[in-house]
């Protein structure tokens, strides 16, 4: 049984709370947030606090607050030599207070408050300079039915960067598609099976192999027709740049 204190109640914190409280081999002993408002509703399920001086002893302290607040919060912890892990994809752990054993427990997924996540499908990137701490974090991931991967800081930052392309930027392309269909009174819904299939395809084959469409075929007529159809300059710039990118990838000049 691994005892855990969770710090933070944003998107990641709230999802971690849900999965920690359910996990058989995890004992969530306390949930800290700087304001009790966000966690008040959970007081019957877990000990809650907004006072760092009241933090209880645990095997690991998981910090799930914004990147900008991790350094400060970790330095304010009123104890020494305990295992403290942040959950950020991009922050180096040297930014955390040195009084404790610093580590990373980064769940690679997009979290929204009102959407449940199948945590068993979330890879956890773990990092520590200490072998036994690494083991504990791997066991914690295992207790959540997650795969864990030992990743160094540079690799984690690269993963975080790639995740911005594969998640934030992809989602923005969905948004552009939404704007384009909306403008002509077409329901965005009609694109949803295509969106899902596009993501399912690369679970099995590489994006290189999966590519189709006018840019890959170098179908100049269709590309020209599309550019004529686009009414928004900003959408046009994205169309041009990504068409060039596909051509480059597939060796078309």
Site for a copy of itself in 189-208 (CB under 8 A): 190-208
Separation of alpha carbons 133 and 82, rounded Å: 10
Nearer to a copy of itself, 55 or 159 (CB): 159
Bridge partners (DSSP) of residue 127 are: 104
The nearest distance, CB 96 to a copy of itself, in angstroms, is 16
Restricting to residues 18-77, name those near a copy of itself by CB under 8 A: 67-68
Phi-psi region of 81 (alpha: psi -120 to 50; beta: other; left: phi over 0): left
Q: Which residues contact 5 (CB under 8 A, 6 or more apart)?
A: 28, 29, 30, 31, 32, 55, 56, 58, 60, 61, 62
Separation of alpha carbons 114 and 119, rounded Å: 15
Other C-beta atoms within 10 Å of 126: how many? Answer: 23
Whether 29 and 49 have beta carbons less than 8 Å apart is answered as no
Report residue 84: phi and psi, to 5°: -125, 120
The nearest distance, CB 100 to a copy of itself, in angstroms, is 23
The nearest distance, CB 196 to a copy of itself, in angstroms, is 5
Interacting stretch for a copy of itself, rule CB under 8 A, among 75-83, 96-104, 128-136, 238-246?
238-246
Nearer to a copy of itself, 37 or 197 (CB): 197
Nearer to a copy of itself, 139 or 157 (CB): 157
Separation of alpha carbons 140 and 3, rounded Å: 9
Other C-beta atoms within 10 Å of 169: how many? Answer: 12
Among 80, 129, 168, 252, binds a copy of itself (CB under 8 A): 168
Nearer to a copy of itself, 25 or 183 (CB): 183
The nearest distance, CB 193 to a copy of itself, in angstroms, is 4
Restricting to residues 93-152, name those near a copy of itself by CB under 8 A: 108-112, 114-115, 117, 121-123, 125, 149, 151
Restricting to residues 212-231, name those near a copy of itself by CB under 8 A: 212-216, 219, 221-222, 225-226, 229-230
The nearest distance, CB 175 to a copy of itself, in angstroms, is 4
Closest C-alpha to 57, from 43, 67, 66, 47: 47
Nearer to a copy of itself, 86 or 235 (CB): 235
Nearer to a copy of itself, 104 or 122 (CB): 122
């Amino acid at each position: 049984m691994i005892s855990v204190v969770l710090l933070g109640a944003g998107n990641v914190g709230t999802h971690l709370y849900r999965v920690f409280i359910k996990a058989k081999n995890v004992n969530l002993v306390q949930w800290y947030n700087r304001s009790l408002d966000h966690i008040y509703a959970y007081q019957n399920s877990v000990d809650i606090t907004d006072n760092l001086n009241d933090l209880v002893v645990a095997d690991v302290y998981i910090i799930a607050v914004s990147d900008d607040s991790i350094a400060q919060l970790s330095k304010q912890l009123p104890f020494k030599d305990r295992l403290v892990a942040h959950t950020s994809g991009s922050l180096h752990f040297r930014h955390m207070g040195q009084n404790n054993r610093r580590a990373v427990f980064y769940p690679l997924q997009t979290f929204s408050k009102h959407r449940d996540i199948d945590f068993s499908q979330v890879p956890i990137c773990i990092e520590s300079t200490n072998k036994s701490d690494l083991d504990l974090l791997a066991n914690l991931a295992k207790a959540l039915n997650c795969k864990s991967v030992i990743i160094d800081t540079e690799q984690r930052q690269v993963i975080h960067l790639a995740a911005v392309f594969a998640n934030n930027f992809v989602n923005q392309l969905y948004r552009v598609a939404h704007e384009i269909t909306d403008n002509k009174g077409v329901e965005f819904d009609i694109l949803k099976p295509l969106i899902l299939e596009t993501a399912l395809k690369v679970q099995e084959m590489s994006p290189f192999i999966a590519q189709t469409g006018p840019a890959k075929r170098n179908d100049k007529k269709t590309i020209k027709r599309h550019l004529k159809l686009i009414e928004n300059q900003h959408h046009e710039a994205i169309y041009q740049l990504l068409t060039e990118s596909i051509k480059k990838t597939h060796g078309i000049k």
